[in-house]
């Protein structure tokens, strides 16, 4: 089923084709009762390789992505070494192609070593085989306004994007959770909403002044939604993402002191959750970005103050988005927009985000009436730090197709696939 309409999809040589043009389908998938969507595109993941393979590798992260319905994921630059040179981003790009479970698109660092002191090799990364177009120091804010301006000016020359981790460092020193009633009662140092909003406001004005593209990573507060809405009303080239966990969870969970709920930006209040849901529904927020951040058990199974910040989320993203948006006018076409077509458009991936004939055959088939209990121990990612463990959800990824090759069948991984190859069949 596509857009409420029951019809066939045909694939030949790794691309969607008109059904009538396919004389001899090599195989047929019975997708009765399933929803067909373009393969998902994630603008925000942490695949950890090189350097942190104990937490995740490009291979295991790619397998996790495929099981979550993702046919393209963007790998953040906070690896070891940092992806701040053409050599490192090409290494990540090649690892993705060798893995063959999803398209892996490297994100380059904005500054050398993510230190916020001097610009990295932005032009060299853009001209590399990885063809980098998005740059981010995610995990660190580009706090220096002059450096941020120069970065925006530089990437404008090749239609690049700066994806900002909006966190004013001086306002969040030692922060452990959202600043508010709960942090006061628990006695934990707070991360105030204004620390996010101040950077977003500054960067919107810089992007408008320069005429460049700005992407707001993991937006989390009511005020941030209003700022992005205001910027778009002015015609500023700003886009924004929200994570599944910020659509669903609140800072009340921190009362448990369970480090599963420790994340950056932190879980916010119910009013913030309601605001980001509304912003996603009305198009103010453009995309879902999982901020998939696997950690080893030693960095999560410890006391709250010592625990690392981050959550895994690619394998549960769709189900959580569906659950979070049930009270809004948010149908499957909206899911396709925020998880497929719009992120592909932002990143400039012409073969992703569409089921139209001639486009790359990247497809996910979804059971909208499943009954599933989230169990992180069954996931492909090395990370077990999923905050939705034990949740009952009603949406299940059944099949994922990458450039015409079925990498997931009935929820299980099949075989990897070189992206350049294809096959002929009908769904």
Asked whether residue 44 is marked as a ligand-binding residue, the answer is yes
Rounded Cα distance between 345 and 132, Å, is: 15
Q: Is 13 a catalytic residue?
A: no
Maximum C-alpha span of the chain = 68
| HSE-up of residue 20 (Cα within 13 Å, Cβ side) | 0
Rounded Cα distance between 404 and 12, Å, is: 7
| HSE-up of residue 269 (Cα within 13 Å, Cβ side) | 14
Query: By C-alpha distance, which of 270, 277, 257 is closest to 183?
Result: 257
Asked whether residue 292 is marked as a ligand-binding residue, the answer is no
Asked whether residue 165 is marked as a ligand-binding residue, the answer is yes
Distances in Å between the Cα of 250 and the Cα atoms of 182, 194, 247, 415 are 10, 17, 9, 38
Asked whether residue 362 is marked as a ligand-binding residue, the answer is no
Asked whether residue 47 is marked as a ligand-binding residue, the answer is yes
Measured from the Cβ of residue 214, the count of other Cβ atoms closer than 10 Å reads 25
Asked whether residue 295 is marked as a ligand-binding residue, the answer is yes
Rounded Cα distance between 177 and 265, Å, is: 8
User: In 243-353, which ranges are E strands?
Assistant: 287-288
Asked whether residue 291 is marked as a ligand-binding residue, the answer is yes
Asked whether residue 245 is marked as a ligand-binding residue, the answer is no
Query: By C-alpha distance, which of 216, 263, 219 is closest to 388?
Result: 263
Rounded Cα distance between 192 and 178, Å, is: 6
Distances in Å between the Cα of 108 and the Cα atoms of 199, 207, 406 are 20, 19, 30
Q: Does residue 355 contact residue 5 with C-beta atoms inside 8 Å? A: no
Asked whether residue 218 is marked as a ligand-binding residue, the answer is yes
Query: Looking at 137, 251, 291, 367, which residue is catalytic?
Result: 291
Burial category of 306 from C-beta neighbours within 10 Å (exposed 0-12, middle 13-18, buried 19 and up): exposed
Query: By C-alpha distance, which of 99, 41, 45, 96 is closest to 71?
Result: 41
Q: Which residues are within 8 A (CB) of 383 and not within 5 positions of it... i.e. 6 or more apart?
A: 55, 56, 292, 293, 294, 295, 312, 376
Which strand (E) or helix (H) includes residue 332? helix 332-336
Residue positions forming the annotated binding site for substrate: 46-48, 78, 264, 295
Return the active site residues: 291
Residue positions forming the annotated binding site for Zn(2+): 44, 46, 138, 165, 218, 291
Residue positions forming the annotated binding site: 44, 46-48, 78, 138, 165, 218, 264, 291, 295
């Amino acid at each position: 089923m596509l857009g409420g309409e029951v019809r066939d999809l045909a694939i030949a040589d790794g691309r969607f084709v008109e059904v009538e043009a396919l004389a001899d389908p090599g195989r047929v998938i019975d997708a009765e009762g399933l929803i067909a969507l373009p393969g998902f595109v994630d603008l925000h993941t942490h695949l950890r390789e090189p350097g942190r393979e104990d937490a995740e590798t490009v291979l295991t992260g790619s397998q996790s992505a495929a099981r979550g319905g993702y046919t393209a994921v963007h790998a953040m630059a906070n690896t070891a070494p940092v992806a701040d040179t053409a050599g490192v981003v090409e290494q990540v790009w090649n690892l993705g192609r060798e893995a063959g479970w999803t398209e892996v698109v490297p994100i380059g660092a904005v500054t050398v070593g993510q230190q916020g002191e001097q610009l990295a090799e932005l032009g060299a990364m853009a001209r590399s085989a990885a063809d980098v177009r998005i740059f981010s120091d995610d995990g660190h804010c580009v706090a220096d306004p002059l450096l941020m301006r120069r970065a925006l000016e530089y990437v404008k020359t090749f239609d690049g994007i700066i994806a900002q981790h909006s966190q004013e460092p001086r306002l969040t020193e030692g922060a452990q959770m959202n600043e508010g009633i709960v942090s006061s009662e628990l006695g934990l140092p707070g991360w105030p909403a204004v620390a996010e909003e101040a950077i977003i406001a500054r960067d919107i004005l810089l992007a408008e002044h320069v005429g460049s593209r700005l992407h707001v990573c993991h937006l989390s507060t009511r005020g941030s939604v209003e700022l992005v809405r205001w910027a778009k009303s002015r015609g500023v080239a700003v886009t924004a993402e929200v994570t599944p966990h910020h659509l669903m969870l609140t800072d009340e969970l921190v009362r448990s002191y369970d480090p599963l709920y420790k994340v950056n930006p932190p879980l916010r209040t119910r009013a913030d959750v309601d605001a980001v849901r509304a912003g996603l529904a009305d198009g103010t927020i453009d995309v879902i970005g999982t901020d998939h951040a696997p950690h080893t058990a030693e960095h999560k199974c410890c006391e709250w103050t010592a625990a690392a910040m981050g959550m895994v989320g690619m394998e549960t993203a769709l189900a959580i988005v569906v659950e979070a948006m049930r009270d809004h006018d948010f149908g499957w076409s909206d899911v396709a927009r925020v998880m497929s077509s719009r992120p592909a458009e932002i990143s400039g991936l012409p073969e992703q985000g569409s089921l139209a004939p001639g486009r790359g055959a990247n497809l996910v088939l979804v059971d909208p009436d499943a009954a599933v209990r989230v169990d992180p121990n069954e996931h492909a990612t090395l990370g077990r730090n999923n905050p939705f463990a034990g949740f009952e959800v009603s949406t299940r990824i059944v099949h994922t197709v990458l450039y015409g090759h079925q990498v997931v069948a009935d929820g299980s991984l099949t075989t990897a696939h070189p992206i350049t190859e294809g096959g002929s069949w009908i769904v």
